[in-house]
Each structure stands twice: as structure tokens, then as C-alpha cells.
Chains A and B, each alone.
Chain A
Amino acid sequence: MKAALLKESHENYWLKEGYLLALQFAQGWVCFRITGWEPSNVRPYSLGAVAALSNLAAWDEIIDASARRYLEPPEEKWIDHAFFGVSKPKAKIYFQYPTRQDRWNLINVQRTITGDVGYIDGEMSPYDGPFALKSQVFTVHELYPAYNCYNPLNDAMDNVMLNFDVMRYSYALIKNRDLIRDILTLKRPGRLHTVAGIDPEPARAPDWLTDLVGDDLLNYSKSIIEEGS
């Protein structure tokens, strides 16, 4: 509890209008200028009961009753930015992003969803906050994560719940090469973020986004980040 109080609030990580954002996908970096934002949340999101020493039978894509995903922007014009907290404190939440791609493996074999590697529990990211930076996720249309849960206790967990705090951004796509270079070389203040992680590689940008950006700019962004000028 004392350690949690020392954490910075996740709200300090929200982007404001005018901020620059660069997201790294497997194909390259895509740069955006935030043009607007709207806060939302999902609380509680119930993963249901989890039996002692058991995990969920299926990965959960954080959906409503009609299987619409809360963490996937329904339109291409938005980016979602989310953090979450966990109840119960010992519930271990595992992460796939995109779905079926296990993350936080640490060693060169896939981490299990019953083990001590690669998870967030309710002590790391408490249900009432402050949420762990590790829980941060950026999503775009057609790209979304999935979660599973393991109960390491010998007592059943009656209801494991997640508390998502979500910020939705509208954006303008940046195609100016000079500006892209300045963002990626940190000459202009902006937020650089690797989508999903680096093992085995960042998430692939959906086709609609790569079509919008174009292969030339994606390759240019990779050369900038590698050569630094």
C-alpha cells in the first residue's frame, strides 16, 4: 500500500490537444497530433469467479453483452489510451496484444498463465489506483488486447474485476518528414510508445492504417529511428 502511494498517477500520462504521439508498429512508426480527447471508463469489468489455483478458460477481450470491445476504437479516426487496476490483490492478470500474441514472456519460452512471470496483480496496480504504468495500452481500430487471470490462492476468488480508465483521442496524421524526424529524434517534445512490446516484435498496424500512412513514410520512420538524424 505504501509503495502504491509513491506511484505517479496515470492521469499524468494522458495526452492533451496539440500533443505529438508516435506509435511504433512492426512496420514502422506512425506519428499523430492529438486534436481532441474524451475521457471514459469501464468499472467494474468482471472477469467472473476464478477457482483456486485456476485460470480463466478463455482469454477475455473486454467486451459488452453484444461482444463489442471496450478497448477497441469503433472508428478509424480515434485512438484509445487505457490503464487498469485489479481486484483482487492476488489475482494475476496476463496480457496478449494483439490477441493470441503473449506478452511479458521475459525468457525465450512463452510464459504460462499459471506462473510467476509476466503479469499484473492487484498489488502492482490496485483497483482504486494508482494504476501501474505497465497496464498502459494504446489501441487503434482493429487492434485490441486480451486478458486472462490466474488465482494463485487455495481459496476461490468470488469475482475478479478490472477497473479501466480510458482516454479517447481524435488525431491528425503527420506526414511531414521534417516533423516526423524531429519527433523521432526527440527534437520536438512528443510521446513515443511501442505498441504492445518488442518480443517478438511490436504489434502490426492494421491495413487501413498502413494504407493511410504509406510504405514510404513507414520505411522513412524506421531509418530515422535507426540512424538518428
Chain B
Amino acid sequence: MDKRALYSALGTITAAGVSFGSAVPANMRRYIYKIKTANQFAGPNQLQIGHRTGVGVPVVLDRIEHATQYEMWNDPDELEEDSAPIYIIPAGATPYGITNNGNCLCYILYEDSE
């Protein structure tokens, strides 16, 4: 991981599903090193995080559970310089999320590289 290569994206994920951030450039992969979520719904809310190419079928990479409103998920707590990425998104795809109830904020920190 190179600090000068890092970018961030913030999405407001809905129950209808939403792509957020930019598409991954050709011949590269998006290495996501950090994710932070905050449940905005007044009750339990599951966030499915993944990626989607255009209007294709979304690919789910992970599910993050929130039991209560304003509950946050922060992974990892501390980002080490030699950290491995927690999610990898292929070229042409865009980060995508969908919830099973209401809105959820989702912040990611990533690097695009071959």
C-alpha cells in the first residue's frame, strides 16, 4: 500500500442498491484497504457490499450486520502500511452496496493498481 496512491469514496447505500465511487480503470484492480459504515435506519440493517459492472448483476463480496441505528463498523481499526486489502474489485466494475432495510453510509479507502 502506498499512501500517495490512496483515494476515498463515500456512498449513501439504500435498500434499492447503489453504485458509488468511480469505475475501476482498465487493466487494474481496486484494492480496498479500509471500510467504515454507519447505519442510518432506526432498526437492524444488513449492508451487502460488493461491485457491479454497469447495470449488470451485482456481485456481493461481504455482508455487514448492524443491530441498531447509528451502529458503526470500522475495519480495520488501524491501517498498517503493509496491510493486505480486505476487498478486491475487478477492472470495469464500480463499488456497489445494498441494504435490507434503510440507508447506510459507507466509506472506503482504496488504491487502483495492476
Contacts and interface: CB of A to CB of B under 8 A. Distances in A.
Interface of A: 1, 52-53, 87-90, 122-123, 127, 152-155
Contact of A52 (B2, B22, B24, B28): B22
Nearest to B5: A89
Interface string B19-60: 000111100100000000000000000000000000000000
Contact of B112 (A1, A87, A127, A153): A153
B113 interface: yes
Given A153-B112, A155-B112, A87 B4 contact: yes
Given A52-B22, A90-B112, A90-B113, A155 B4 contact: no
B6 to A, nearest CB: 10
Contacts of B7: 153, 155
Interface string B90-108: 0000000000000000000
Given A90-B112, A90-B113, A154 B4 contact: no
Nearest to B24: A154
A43 B2 CA distance: 19
12 contacts: A1-B2, A88-B5, A89-B2, A122-B2, A127-B4, A153-B7, A153-B25, A153-B28, A154-B22, A154-B23, A154-B112, A155-B22
Most buried by B among A52, A53, A122, A155: A155
Interface of B: 2, 4-5, 7, 22-25, 28, 112-113
Contacts of B113: 89-90, 123
A84 to B, nearest CB: 15
Given A122-B2, A155-B112, 8 more contacts: A89-B4, A90-B112, A152-B28, A153-B25, A153-B28, A153-B112, A154-B24, A154-B112
Contacts of B28: 152-153
Contacts of B24: 154
A153 B2 CA distance: 15
A87 B7 CA distance: 14
A122 B4 contact: yes
A182 B24 CA distance: 55
Contacts of B25: 53, 152-154
